[in-house]
Amino acid sequence: ESCTGGLIASQITSIAGASKVFPGGIVSYSNAMKSSQLGVSEALLQQHGAVSRDVALAMAQGALRVGHADVALAVTGIAGPDGGSEDKPVGTVWIAWGSEDHLKAECLVLPFDRQAFQMWVSALGMELVRRHLLGIATMPSLIQRYCKKAH
């Protein structure tokens, strides 16, 4: 997790019995943590920026490897209220999810304040993992209704 600051892990561990299926999470808020904890290369971060498809996928791959996990979820984005640019406005998020042999990534722009952005990213990420586990290929309809697909 980057832009959610640990909210996804918090929501998972709020459920009794989560320890049976959730080994842990990494809050890689800084680029240094993305590199040291998840193995995201400095070159990748320099070339594409932290909020990018390549970095989100590298974070998910690192989480699968480090966590010895079957499924990973990685999020990296710009929660605001500042930090955005013309190419990557506030509200931009890359979400990567899936298993080692089937990782996906999606970029969205969420039109919400910081707290709502973090809640939406967390909920969307968990929904994408749920759909992955159930073999549902379609994106949630609420993405089409409330979010702008980017890139």
At 36, the pLDDT band (50, 70, 90 cuts) reads very high
At residue 150, does pLDDT exceed 70? no
At 138, the pLDDT band (50, 70, 90 cuts) reads confident
* Per-residue pLDDT tens over the stretch 24-33: 999 999 999 9
Rounded to 5 degrees, what are φ and ψ at 109? -120, 115
CA distances from 103 to 5, 10, 33, 60 (A): 22, 23, 21, 8
* Per-residue pLDDT tens over the stretch 82-109: 999 999 999 999 999 999 999 999 999 9
pTM of the model: 0.94
Tell me the residue ranges of DSSP E strands in 2-143: 72-77, 92-99, 102-109
Q: To the nearest whole percent, how much of the chain has pLDDT over 70? A: 95
> Per the structure block, which two tokens stand in for 10?
């918090």
Domain annotation for the chain: domains and CATH numbers: 7-149 (3.90.950.20)
Of the CA atoms within 13 Å of residue 34, those in its CB half-sphere come to 28
At 147, the pLDDT band (50, 70, 90 cuts) reads low
At 43, the pLDDT band (50, 70, 90 cuts) reads very high
Quote the distance between the C-alpha of residue 53 and its chain's center: 10
